[in-house]
Chains A and B, each alone.
Chain A
């Protein structure tokens, strides 16, 4: 009987990374989305009540019709809409997001000043969320059905159901007022801070409560997700193979279950970025944290549409970038995507 080789032509394993073309594809995919964000900001500005020129004129103390006409022209307000859009796009791409009259500063400058604290808060909140969430979820999955599992489930539900501002207020009441361990709000102590280390420490102390508040909600979401993902992976065939090898339960849990369950978690984290930024608005307001969220609150109160539109642009772009990073990370973590 003739023996036939069982090797397929493509079976010879070739470890060739296809990361570059993938990156390029994803970056190109970003462009239409960014354009749409730009368009949305523009449309919102058009819908906003009030003519920019009237506002300008009002600030300048009124003006003659010729003056107003000249202003209109320089802002391109007398042009058809699509031209205005192109002007707007050109402005944005060159870093000009408009001017905030209420704050007497360019929108770009305002956002630039507040971006750092928000990024810091978001990163810290994410760390809290992932650290607590994944641990709790893994624990719940490992002790499925037992009291610990139920307890974690109830805790997650209650945290999820508590609005961010309420949680923040509650934590503030307990840890900053009743027990004066942590500061009530703000970014850094106003006095008595000398040198970079003391400064960093002070910021860190101020970061604790806002970060925990921001991260708590997402911790509940991630805990739930991790639990579900792990339980699902537990039922998969390769876990059965691992059991049939005689591996210990701990090794199976970490190497064959958690590791595989964390892959989709990365995607979920990406999807929750927008919610994280949204949450920052309320948390920053409660804790007087000088970030974009607080800026959004102030812009809202002052009906500063320029600033609000700029914030939409900025946050939307941020989310798109984070999603890109997440996709790339996923490609790195999952060999099935990394090596075709």
Chain B
């Protein structure tokens, strides 16, 4: 009988057999666990954004009343009058009030437009990636269409047609910025479609909807969140641009609108432009940092 020297050829594991690798954590689980472990950019970005969200939410308490009111003397520089810490603009409107209420508009538009764009883009991407064939082809042509027409121009014409009320602005921005998400989700779906657990689910008779919703979507989600923060930053910039050009809701004050309204006074009173400008930069920077931080954090081993 042949023996192999020194080794028991059997399946009996020794008591000191190495531990099997731990099961991978559920996507999303690691995000909430220690936020001390977040990368620096994520922490700073979230802090800045939280600050601005807080200001936006508390706008009604901080500065009750209409920010469009002519509250004081015009051309008041910041710091001259404690009642108007940030001064007043050409018409005598309180800049601080405008800033605070403008936060509402910018963040609201930014976030809502992103939700629309994300939903649209995810749907298109999932369908195109999962079904392939002519569905993919058709959807990709549509995506390409929305990609080649410059987004800002497209948004301008949509707002010109629909009107410049806030919901239409949100819609216009959302409808013109979904292509990034669509491409991303499609790529993820194509990769995930080939994974074994998806094929098993299909073999076992899971309907398409079930497979997509329970297996593909949760795993494609991580990069979508990162893309969403980038989209929100872009949406805020787009809204500011539209407002600057005069296409904003005339009942709502907006940072971009404040800048646009202060153009004539640029040389004499640049603070009217720079203060709302700084607010925009802060908001977009915060969102960008969040996007970067999330990407870094998820790469390190959060979701799959």
Which residues of A come within 8 Å of B, CB atoms? 32-33, 36-37, 40, 44, 47-49, 157-158, 160-166, 169-170, 173, 177, 271, 274-275, 277-279, 281-282, 285, 296-297, 300-301, 303, 305, 308-309, 311-312, 315-316, 319-320, 323
How many residues belonging to B are interface residues under a CB distance threshold of 8 Å?
Answer: 41
Q: Given A166-B273, A309-B157, decide whether A282 and B150 contact each other with a Cβ distance below 8 A.
A: no
- Do A296 and B156 touch (CB < 8 A)? yes
Give CA–CA (A281, B157) in the complex, Å: 13
Give CA–CA (A217, B141) in the complex, Å: 28
Instruction: Enumerate chain B residues within 8 angstroms of A271, measured Cβ to Cβ.
Output: 147
Q: Which one of A275, A282, A315 contacts B245 once the chains associate, using CB atoms below 8 Å? A: A282
Which residues of B come within 8 Å of A, CB atoms? 141-142, 144-145, 147-154, 156-157, 160-161, 233, 237, 240-241, 244-247, 256, 259, 263, 266-267, 270, 273-274, 277, 280-285, 288-289
Q: Given A44-B157, A47-B161, A309-B157, decide whether A319 and B150 contact each other with a Cβ distance below 8 A.
A: yes
B10 CB, nearest partner CB in chain A, Å? 40
Instruction: Enumerate chain B residues within 8 angstroms of A165, measured Cβ to Cβ.
Output: 240-241, 244, 256, 259
- Do B247 and A37 touch (CB < 8 A)? no
The DSSP consensus for interface residues of chain B is helix
A328 CB, nearest partner CB in chain B, Å? 17
- Do B153 and A312 touch (CB < 8 A)? yes
Interchain pairs with CB closer than 8 A, number: 130
- Do B240 and A163 touch (CB < 8 A)? yes
Instruction: Enumerate chain B residues within 8 angstroms of A36, measured Cβ to Cβ.
Output: 141-142, 144-145
Give CA–CA (A94, B289) in the complex, Å: 49
Q: Given A160-B288, A166-B259, A169-B273, decide whether A32 and B150 contact each other with a Cβ distance below 8 A.
A: no
B221 CB, nearest partner CB in chain A, Å? 22
B298 CB, nearest partner CB in chain A, Å? 16
Instruction: Enumerate chain B residues within 8 angstroms of A173, measured Cβ to Cβ.
Output: 266-267, 270
Q: Which one of B142, B154, B156, B241 contacts A164 once the chains associate, using CB atoms below 8 Å? A: B241
- Do B285 and A33 touch (CB < 8 A)? no
Instruction: Enumerate chain B residues within 8 angstroms of A33, measured Cβ to Cβ.
Output: 141, 144-145, 148
